Amino acid sequence: MQLAAGIGWSSLPWLAFLSQPTLVIAGSDDPIVPAVNGRILAKLIPDARFVTIDDGHLFLLTSAEKSASIISDFLANSST
């Protein structure tokens, strides 16, 4: 039943109601979750920041320093 729910449910209609600062990061060479998915999320979440990293699906591991820098910058400059 959980798999069936996952197929038929989407959070997209509720993204516009998010009010917290949001960072969306995507790997530009991700064959599992294409960067366009991140672009869609960022467009639907008010004032979201979208960043791509020139890497694949595991960019948090393979580009850890770059990822950490982007996340640190976002957290330091986000107002809550």
| Rg (alpha carbons) of the chain, rounded to whole number | 14
pLDDT at 2 over 90: no
Q: What is the pLDDT of residue 74?
A: 97
Taking only the tens place, the pLDDT of each residue in 65-79 is 999 999 999 999 986
Taking only the tens place, the pLDDT of each residue in 7-46 is 777 888 899 999 999 999 999 999 999 999 999 999 999 9
Which region, left, alpha or beta, applies to residue 69 given φ > 0 means left and ψ of -120 to 50 means alpha?
A: alpha
Q: What is the pLDDT of residue 79?
A: 66
Contact 20, 80 (CB under 8 A): yes
